[in-house]
């Protein structure tokens, strides 16, 4: 599907919306909407596409160097960055890495290797909490015509590293959003640290 078709599907398909909201913490907005959470310091336009349960927002931004509109994620806690090069890859990332925020929070300041360490731990937690996640992934990929990204973690890291500097995100009063990469590492999570220690 092209961008317009994907937007139409996630906004109108009750099944796609149900799976996205219930299993992937992504609630599509019903129509093109402006953000009240963030803006761009240079006036770049964007289209709000979805929200998560914490109040974070997903928006397609006017393209700079790409033939497609990249997807920005802005958290309600003041972090923001480009997470993919287009809507299709953004949805694929959400399906492949429903815990992408953990990959960023525990990235050790943006280390790709540290992000990779998060995946098996978060995937294990996800399966325990959401046993139907495999079937939900399959159903959503079929509904939206999504293909699995060969390396979702690397694609996420590359989008944030290469494209985020092109988009200066600020709040309504002008304060600057911080990077999506946080300084924590896998061992900063006590539960994960204990599990890793038991594996040694």
DSSP for 169-195 reads: EE-TTSPBPBPS--S--GGGSHHHHHH
Mean pLDDT for the stretch of residues 156-182: 93
State the pLDDT at residue 64. 75
Give residue-wise pLDDT tens across range 57-99.
999 998 877 889 999 999 999 999 999 999 999 999 999 999 9
Instruction: Round to whole Å and give the CA distance between 133 and 151.
Output: 19
Instruction: Flag whether 102 is in a domain.
Output: yes
In a domain, 47, yes or no: yes
Domain count, the chain: 1
Residue 199 within a domain: no
Contact in structure between 118 and 99 (CB atoms under 8 Å): yes
How much of the chain, in percent, has pLDDT values that exceed 70? 100
Q: How far is CA 33 from CA 37, 45, 47, 79, 83, in A?
A: 12, 11, 6, 20, 19
Angle subtended by helix axes 3-12 and 133-144, to nearest 10: 130
pLDDT surpasses 80 at 126 = yes
91 closest CA partner among 61, 132, 49: 49
State the pLDDT at residue 106: 97
The region that residue 55 occupies, defined by phi over 0 for left and psi between -120 and 50 for alpha, beta otherwise, is left
Q: Structure pTM? A: 0.93
Beta-bridge mates of residue 40: 169
Q: Is residue 47 within 8 Å of 59, Cβ to Cβ?
A: yes
Containing structural domain, residue 111: 3-190
Quick check: is 196 in a domain?
Answer: no
Give the C-alpha separation, 148 to 146, whole Å.
Answer: 7
Contact by Cβ (8 Å): 110, 160:
yes
Q: If pLDDT is split at 50, 70 and 90, which confidence band does 123 have? A: very high
Q: Is pLDDT at 11 greater than 80 in this prediction?
A: yes
Token pair listed for 131:
């046993």
* Residue 195 domain-assigned (yes or no): no
Domain annotation covers residue 197: no
Tokens of 30: 């019903």
Distance, CA of 22 to CA of 53 (rounded, Å) = 10
């Amino acid at each position: 599907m092209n961008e317009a078709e994907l937007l139409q599907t996630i906004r109108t398909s009750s099944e796609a919306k149900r799976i996205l909201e219930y299993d992937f913490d992504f609630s599509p907005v019903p129509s093109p909407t402006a953000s009240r959470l963030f803006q761009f310091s240079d006036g770049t336009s964007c289209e709000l596409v979805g929200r998560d349960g914490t109040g974070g927002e997903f928006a397609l931004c006017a393209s700079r160097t790409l033939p497609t509109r990249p997807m920005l994620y802005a958290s309600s806690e003041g972090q923001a960055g480009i997470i993919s090069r287009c809507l299709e890859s953004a949805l694929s990332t959400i399906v492949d890495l429903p815990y992408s925020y953990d990959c960023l929070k525990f990235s050790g300041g943006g280390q790709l290797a540290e992000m990779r360490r998060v995946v098996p731990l978060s995937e294990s937690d996800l399966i325990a909490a959401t046993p139907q996640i495999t079937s939900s992934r399959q159903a959503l990929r079929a509904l939206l015509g999504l293909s699995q990204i060969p390396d979702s973690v690397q694609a996420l890291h590359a989008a944030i590293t290469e494209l985020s500097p092109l988009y200066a995100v600020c709040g309504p009063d002008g304060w600057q959003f911080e990077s999506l990469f946080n300084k924590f590492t896998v061992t900063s999570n006590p539960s994960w640290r204990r599990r890793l220690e038991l594996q040694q």
